[in-house]
Every structure is written in structure tokens, then in C-alpha cells.
Amino acid sequence: MLRRKFNKLIASSAIPLIVSDMIDMSSSKDGLTILFQGDSITDAGRDRSRYYANHAGGLGDGYVGQIATDLLGQNHDKNLKIYNRGISGHKVYQLADRWEEDCMQLKPDILSILIGVNDFWHMLNGHYDGTAEIYDRDFRALIDRTLRELPDLELIIAEPFCVAGGSAVGSERWVREFPAYQELSKKIAEDYGAAFIPLQSIFEEALQKSDVSYWCPDGVHPSMAGSYIMAEAWLSVLAPMISK
Amino acid sequence: MLRRKFNKLIASSAIPLIVSDMIDMSSSKDGLTILFQGDSITDAGRDRSRYYANHAGGLGDGYVGQIATDLLGQNHDKNLKIYNRGISGHKVYQLADRWEEDCMQLKPDILSILIGVNDFWHMLNGHYDGTAEIYDRDFRALIDRTLRELPDLELIIAEPFCVAGGSAVGSERWVREFPAYQELSKKIAEDYGAAFIPLQSIFEEALQKSDVSYWCPDGVHPSMAGSYIMAEAWLSVLAPMISK
């Protein structure tokens, strides 16, 4: 489906382009709807009363706003519709609770999901009884349900991450137990043929250049610079997707 | 001064880069402070309680947030400090009223000012007694005052603009009288050796590609796509500035 909607991919390895420069999309009468789903990292302070497509305040101050600005600024003739429906604190089952309005009714062509940090964190701090198995089961059920109604959907799954040294991720249990959730997100992406964004390694690579306070002060919520590297990674994943 | 702080400019005309890719800055122990000043276009819904440098919510959803994300994402080792102090509705004299806290105390290395649309618009709708002459006088006085305390300042002046066809700029007086303000902003930039961003022609060029509703629905406040082309232009102005 996306092959019909995107047709041109400009790439060069001669100089270090940011990946968004390599994305170009063909004209489409139908347009293309992109939906971002997740928790506070996706939400990023968006004004939830601005739920219309392509509204700057409604898309938030995080990676979604950055991606949307790039895509809209570079593709005036593509009738893109970009929505953010991340809600702070949410776990997979809470996405499911609001999936009718916040996914099905929007009929996305591309659905990007970043979820899982709260499925672990809220269990850790005693506010949730979930386990990695429940995360896996709920996440797969959500995707099954989505694909039944939207079989042509292109799916992007972003890995939940925690950045070492952040003020909120000091417990040793993050190191011992959180990787199980991350591996499940990757396995789910593989099983459903979704594009996968390996955010954990992206932040670990960034830590070689500057410390956690620059990229993600509490280890969970990215700074502006952290949002930039997330957006860069997301846009890089869009490119191979569209040549499927 | 900036030559000491920036030292590398990567440019290539071989493929259509966005300009931000061409900007690279040398390490600086001092860091570099960039201040954006103006009205609602600069303000862009920023959370004014987040007045610290580099805070996503505090930088707003407009061109400033976009520029900051690019600069911070691409220059982790430069100790950049980026502030937005635009306030919706403001005219030049209102910048002057708050200049001590909102410019002098921040000691910017680079000051970017986009002001003037309200100096005309509020006169037009009967809420202000100003004229183009007052705009000119107040603007020059503000810059003189700034340069007395900050003689090494690099100044960027962005042209106030109105996009034809927008819902708020229907009066024929915009066509007849607003260009005087725009010409003054350009003349002031020339007289002070400031970099100038010709936003009017940038939006007019964009109108060749898509209509006003895509770039700037009311003719005054840019959409996300409009913010993108503003940010692109601003970043392109940074490059020649730094080779002075």
C-alpha cells in the first residue's frame, strides 16, 4: 500500500545527510495518515484539546512534533495527516481501552507505537500488577485487533528504553528485569513484520558522545536533543518501509 | 566573536541538503547563548513558566522550537543555551519594556528579532496609535541600547510578513501600508550590519507550491509547515554569519 503512496527515495552516502532528507513521497489523492501512539514520551506535553491532524500544539514537544514538522515542511503536496495520541503514564492495556477513538476511527496508514516503560515502571513502584508476560499478551492482542480492521496497515514498533544514569532509573531491577520487555517488543515486531526502532542502542550510542543529562535526564523522558535522535531514527525507518 | 565559537562549515551543492546539515560548530568552553525575541509567531504557545534554556515546552511549537531541536540534536558538545522570549501581541515598545530581564540579563551571543506585524495590525484595528516612523524609531533605540551593553552581539532581524489570502489579512491596507514596515526592518538590518531573513519572499515562494491554508492559514501565524520553512531560512542565515 505504501509503495503506491511513496515513490521516490533520494539517498546518498557521499555526505552525512540526516535521514529526513532522503525521504520524499509521491503525490497521493487519498493522502496518508500517520498515527503515533504511546505514553508520556510520545505525549510530550501535547495539548489534548487540539486533537486535529497536523496541529503543532496537539502534536507535542517531543519526537512526534519534530517528525511532523519535517514531514509536513518537506511534503506540501502529499496531504499528510499526522496525529499524536500518546497519553502520559499509559501501559498497553490503557491503549486498548481507548483504541476505538484513538486508533480505529483515525484509520491510520502507518501506526507507530512506543509502549512498555510504564508496564515495567509502574509494577516496580507498586502501582500496577503487570508482568512481562502480560505486556506481551496485551500488545499482541492489540495488534491482532488492529490488523483485523486495518489489514493494510504499516506498523512501526519503537523499543521502550531506559537510559543508564538517569535519576528515575537507579534501581538495579531496571538492569535485571527491563530487558525482558525490550526483547518482547523486538520479538513482536519480528512476528508481525513491523519495522523496529532500537531506541536502547540509539541512546547508548549517544551516551558515548555526551552524558545522560544531555539526552534524557531522568533516564525515561528525552531532552530536546534526545527527541532529535529519536526522530532521526524514526525517519530512517520510514525509508526501508516504503520500498517493501 | 562567533568566528571563535564556530569553526567548521560543511557545505555541498551536489544534493539538496536542508541548510541545518551544513552547520557545525566548534567546541567552546563558554558555550553560546541564542535568544529569540518577538511576538506570537515567536512565542508559539510556549510555556512561559519554563523559562530555562533548552526546555522543549518553554521554546514553543513554532520556528524556534524547530531550530532549537536541530541545533541541540546536532551539536551535543557545544554547550548551547537557547531561549525563547517572544510574547504574543507584542510590538517593539513592549519588547523595550521587558528588555532588561528578557535580553540583557541573558547576555545573548546571537539575538534574533522578529517584530512588526502587531505594530501595524494593532494600529489597523484601533488598538494602538503607532506608525511606521514610531516602529523605526523604537526598533533602532532598542538595538542601540542592546549594543551598548553587548557590543559583540550578532544580530539577526527577521522580516515581519503577511501571507496573501490569509483570513486575518483581508484588508487592502495590508497591501498598501504594511510594506513600509517591512522595508524599515530591512533597512535597519542593513544599517546595523545584521543578518536579514526575507520572510515575505520566502512565504511568497511557498505559495507557488501550496496555498495559504497549508503555510499560514490566517496570513499571520504559520502552520507547522510554515514554521519549517522559517526555521530552514533562519538556519541558512546562521551559516554566512559565522564566517564573518
DSSP string, chain B: -HHHH--EE---SSS---GGGGEE----SS-EEEEEEESHHHHTT--TT--STT-HHHH-SSHHHHHHHHHHHH-TTS-EEEEE---TT--HHHHHHTHHHHTGGG--SEEEEE--HHHHHHHHTTS----HHHHHHHHHHHHHHHHHH-TT-EEEEEPP---TT-TT--SHHHHHHHHHHHHHHHHHHHHTT-EEE-HHHHHHHHHTTS-HHHH-TTSSS--HHHHHHHHHHHHHHHHHHTT-
Residue A232: band (very low, low, confident or very high) from pLDDT cuts 50, 70, 90: very high
In this structure, the dihedral spanned by the alpha carbons of residues A156, A159, A163 and A167, taken in order and rounded to 10 degrees, is 90
A229 contacts chain B (CB < 8 A): yes
pLDDT at residue number A24: 43
- Write the CB contacts of B44 (distance below 8 Å, at least 6 apart in sequence): A56, B60, B61, B62, B63, B64, B65, B84, B86, B227
The shortest CB-CB distance from A54 to any of B62, B69, B224 is to B224
Name the band, by pLDDT with cuts 50, 70 and 90, for residue B31. Answer: confident
- Spatial neighbors of A187 by CB under 8 A, at least 6 apart, are none
Closest residue of chain B to A209, computed from CA coordinates: B76
Inter-residue contact A158 to A119 (CB < 8 Å):
no
pLDDT of residue B63 exceeding 90: yes
Name the minimum distance, in Å, from the CA of B20 to any CA of chain A: 9
Question: What would the grid cell of residue B233 be?
Answer: 531560512
The pTM for the full model equals 0.81
**Cell numbers at A59, concatenated:** 502534536
**What is the pLDDT, as a whole number, of residue B5?**
39
Collect all residues of chain B within an 8 Å Cβ-Cβ radius of residue A61.
56-57, 59, 61, 65
Which residues of chain A does B71 touch, with a Cβ-Cβ cutoff of 8 Å? Answer: none
User: What distance in Å separates the CA atoms of residue A24 and residue A4, rounded to the nearest whole number?
Assistant: 13
pLDDT band at A31 (very low <50, low <70, confident <90, very high): confident
Q: Say if residues A116 and A181 touch (Cβ distance below 8 Å).
A: yes
**Quick one: pLDDT at residue B8?**
30
**Residue-range domain boundaries for chain A:** 2-243
Q: Which of A102, A134, A104 is nearest to A116 (CA)?
A: A134
- At residue A242, the pLDDT reads 55
**B76–A225 CB contact, under 8 Å:** yes
Which residues from B are below 8 Å from A227, CB to CB?
56, 69, 73
Best residue in B221, B228, B230, B234 to probe A by mutation, most A CBs within 10 Å?
B228
Burial of A97 (0-12, 13-18, 19+ CB in 10 A): exposed
Q: B199 touching A, CB under 8 A?
A: no
Is residue A41 within 8 Å of A88, Cβ to Cβ?
no
At A119, list the grid cell. Answer: 508496564
Least confident of A48-52, A69-73, A79-83, B32-36: A48-52
Between the alpha carbon of residue A22 and those of residues A12, A77, B63, B79, the distances in Å are 8, 17, 22, 29
Q: What are B184's three cell numbers?
A: 524599515
Give the pLDDT score at B35. Answer: 98
pLDDT at B15: 30
Residues of B in contact with A55 (CB under 8 A): 224
**pLDDT recorded at residue B19:** 36
**For residue range B108-167, what is the model confidence (pLDDT) as tens digits?**
999 999 999 999 999 999 999 999 999 999 999 999 999 999 999 999 999 999 999 999
pLDDT of B241: 59
What pLDDT is attached to residue A10?
A: 27
The answer to whether the CB atoms of B228 and A77 lie below 8 A apart is no
Closest CA to A35 of A120, A102, A88: A102
Q: How confident is the model at residue A241 (pLDDT cuts 50, 70, 90)?
A: low
Tell me what pLDDT residue A240 has. Answer: 65
Whether B224 contacts chain A with CB within 8 A: yes
Q: How confident is the model at residue B204 (pLDDT cuts 50, 70, 90)?
A: very high
- As a whole number of angstroms, the distance between CA B226 and CA B213 comes to 10
Q: Chain B closest CA to A55's CA: distance in Å? A: 7
Q: Looking only at Cα atoms, what is the longest distance across chain A? A: 52
Confidence of residue A132 (pLDDT cuts 50, 70, 90): very high
- pLDDT band at A11; cut points 50, 70, 90: very low
Residues of B in contact with A54 (CB under 8 A): 223-224
Tell me the pLDDT band of B98, cut-offs 50, 70 and 90: very high
Mutation choice for A interface testing from B17, B202, B209, B224 by most A CBs within 10 A: B224
Q: Under an 8 A CB cutoff, do A10 and B15 touch? A: yes
pLDDT at B238: 86
In the predicted model, is pLDDT for residue B25 greater than 80?
A: no
**Contact check, Cβ <8 Å, A69/B10:** no
A189 shares contact with chain B (CB less than 8 Å) = no
Residue of A nearest to B75 (CA): A225
Put residue A101 in one of left, alpha, beta given phi > 0 → left and psi -120 to 50 → alpha.
Answer: alpha
Region A116-120: mean pLDDT is: 97
pLDDT at B1 over 80: no
Q: What is the pLDDT of residues B68-91, one digit of tens each?
A: 999 999 999 889 999 999 999 999
Q: Does A11 touch chain B (CB under 8 A)?
A: no
Q: Which residue of A has its CA nearest to B55?
A: A224
B2-243 to CATH, choices 3.20.20.70, 1.10.287.80, 3.40.50.1110, 3.40.250.10: 3.40.50.1110
Predicted confidence at residue B110, as pLDDT, reads 97
**DSSP labels, chain A:** -HHHH--EE---SSS---GGGGEE----SS-EEEEEEESHHHHTT--TT--STT-HHHH-SSHHHHHHHHHHHH-TTS-EEEEE---TT--HHHHHHTHHHHTGGG--SEEEEE--HHHHHHHHTTS----HHHHHHHHHHHHHHHHHH-TT-EEEEEPP---TT-TT--SHHHHHHHHHHHHHHHHHHHHTT-EEE-HHHHHHHHHTTS-HHHH-TTSSS--HHHHHHHHHHHHHHHHHHTT-
